[in-house]
C-alpha cells in the first residue's frame, strides 16, 4: 500500500476528488496518509476531518524561513512514510529542502496548458488573453515555478464568455485527470 500526502491551501476540491476516487476503488494500492496545509483556517481542513485524515497544519509566519518550515514538513512526511506528494492548490513555492528529500516524487496540478499561463491565476490569465483551447496539466515539481516535466495534459475548446462556466469545466477536468494520473504513477513507484 502506497502512502500519499496531499498539500492544499484552500477549498480542497482536488483533494476531495482524490479521496472519492480512492473510496470508489478507482485508485488501487494507495491511501491519503496526510493532508498538509499552510492555512490554519482553510476549508480543505474540514474535508480532511470528514475523511478522518491526519493533518500537518503550519503557519509560515511562525517560522524564520522556508527551509525551517519545510524541515518540519519533511519530518511529518517521514513519520507517515509518504511515497508520493501531490500538490493540489498548494499556493507556495516548493523549496530545496522538500525537493531534495522527495526528488521526482512531488507532482502538481495546474489549471492551464503549460507552459502557457504559469502562476497563481492560470484560468483568468488564459481567459483574458482570449485563447480558445483551455486545459489542465499535471507535472513534476522542480525549482522552476510550474516548469517541471509534464506528466499529463487534457484540453478542450471553449468559445464562451463566462469565466465561471469555464472555471467549472476546468475543475471538472482536474477532478478526473488527477486521480487517473496518480493511479498510473502509483503503479510505477
The site for ligand GAR (CB under 6 A) is made up of 8, 10-14, 88-89, 109-111, 120, 122, 171, 174
Whose CB is nearest to ligand GAR? 89
> Least distance to ligand GAR from the beta carbon of 176, Å?
13
Rounded distance, CA 64 to CA 114, Å? 32
Residue 67, Cβ neighbours under 10 Å: how many?
12
Residue 90 C-beta: closest distance to ligand GAR, Å = 8
Name the grid cell of 136: 489542465
For 7, phi then psi, to 5°, come to -110, 125
Quick check: helix, strand or coil at residue 60?
helix
* Nearer Cβ to ligand GAR (70/174): 174
The residue among 78 and 129 lying less far from ligand GAR, judged by its C-beta, is 129
Closest CA to 179 of 45, 83, 88: 88
| 80 part of the active site | no
Nearer to ligand GAR, 14 or 97 (CB): 14
Question: Which CB sits closer to ligand GAR, 8 or 27?
Answer: 8
Closest distance of CB 78 from ligand GAR, Å: 25
Q: Quote the CA–CA distance of 16 and 3 in Å, as a whole number.
A: 16
* Cβ 30 vs Cβ 22: under 8 Å: yes
The least CB distance from residue 115 to ligand GAR, in Å, is 13
Contact 53, 5 (CB under 8 A): no
Out of 80, 110, 139, 171, pick the active-site residue.
Answer: 110
Catalytically active residues are 110
Amino acid at each position: 500500500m502506497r502512502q500519499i500526502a496531499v498539500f492544499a491551501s484552500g477549498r480542497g476540491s482536488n483533494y476531495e476528488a482524490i479521496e472519492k476516487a480512492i473510496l470508489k476503488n478507482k485508485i488501487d494500492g494507495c491511501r491519503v496518509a496526510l493532508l498538509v496545509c499552510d492555512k490554519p483556517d482553510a476549508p480543505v481542513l474540514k474535508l480532511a476531518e470528514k475523511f478522518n485524515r491526519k493533518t500537518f497544519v503550519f503557519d509560515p509566519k511562525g517560522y524564520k524561513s522556508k527551509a525551517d518550515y519545510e524541515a518540519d514538513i519533511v519530518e511529518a512526511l517521514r513519520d507517515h512514510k509518504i511515497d508520493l506528494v501531490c500538490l493540489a492548490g498548494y499556493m507556495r513555492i516548493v523549496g530545496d529542502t522538500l525537493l531534495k528529500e522527495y526528488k521526482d516524487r512531488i507532482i502538481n496540478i495546474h489549471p492551464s496548458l503549460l507552459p502557457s499561463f504559469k502562476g497563481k491565476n492560470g484560468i483568468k490569465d488564459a481567459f483574458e488573453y482570449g485563447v480558445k483551447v483551455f486545459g489542465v496539466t499535471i507535472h513534476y515539481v522542480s525549482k522552476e515555478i510550474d516548469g517541471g516535466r509534464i506528466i499529463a495534459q487534457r484540453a478542450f475548446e471553449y468559445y464562451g464568455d463566462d469565466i465561471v462556466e469555464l472555471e467549472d469545466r476546468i475543475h471538472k477536468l482536474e477532478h478526473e485527470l488527477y486521480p487517473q494520473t496518480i493511479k498510473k504513477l502509483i503503479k510505477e513507484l
